């Protein structure tokens, strides 16, 4: 039996327990995109996911042009701050090259797959964070590019420092 234990606060980490495995993952407190809640820690998590995904090796199925467009958009995003048009452009470019619906939005994860049957955009961003920093994930607060709000929130969670 699997149960989910949401933690309080935004950009909530969730821990899934079962007899077979323990797994830690991040989730958003609200969607990130145009006309969304765009809590700053959610946006910083998405910014960091975009950064890590832009560094991931290409897959054989990737369109080279769409991948290059995403990398160019990702370079403009930066690591700090709330939502701005560069974040939406990078999300939409990622959705295009990965063959997803292009709405410039990263949604909160609920269930195993998005309503359209695809994996959640956030799941892919998180997988690329773990792949980019396998020795420290989920302690992404130890990476400069994760942003100051995420760093502070995770240090409070993991080590109790404010």
SS3 readout for 67-102: HHHHHHHHHCCCCCCCCCHHHHHHHHHHHHHCCCCC
Each residue's pLDDT tens digit, 82-119? 999 999 999 999 999 888 889 999 988 877 666 666 66
| Residue 26 contacts residue 10 (beta carbons within 8 Å) | no
Give the pair of three-digit tokens for residue 4.
């989910």
Give the end-to-end CA distance of the chain in Å, rounded to a whole number: 35
CA distance 67 to 23: 30
Q: What is the dihedral of CA 81, 82, 86, 92, to 10 degrees?
A: 130
pTM across the whole model = 0.83
Domain residue limits, the chain: 3-159
- pLDDT at position 129, please? 93
| Residue 143 contacts residue 52 (beta carbons within 8 Å) | no
Each residue's pLDDT tens digit, 14-67? 555 445 555 677 889 899 999 999 999 899 999 999 999 999 988 888 888 999
């Amino acid at each position: 039996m699997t149960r989910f234990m949401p933690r309080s606060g935004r950009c909530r980490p969730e821990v899934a327990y079962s007899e077979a495995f323990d797994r830690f993952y991040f989730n958003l407190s609200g969607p990130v995109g145009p006309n969304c809640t765009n809590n700053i820690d959610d946006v910083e998590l998405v910014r960091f996911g975009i950064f890590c995904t832009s560094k991931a090796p290409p897959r054989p199925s990737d369109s080279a042009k769409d991948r290059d467009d995403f990398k160019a958009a990702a370079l403009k995003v930066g690591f700090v701050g709330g939502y701005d048009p560069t974040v939406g452009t990078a999300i939409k470019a990622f959705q295009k090259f990965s063959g997803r619906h292009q709405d410039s939005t990263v949604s909160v994860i609920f269930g195993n797959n998005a309503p359209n049957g695809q994996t959640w955009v956030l799941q892919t961003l998180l997988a690329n964070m773990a792949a980019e920093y396998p020795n420290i994930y989920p302690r992404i607060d130890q990476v400069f590019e994760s942003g100051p709000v995420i760093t502070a929130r995770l240090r409070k969670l993991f080590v109790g420092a404010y």
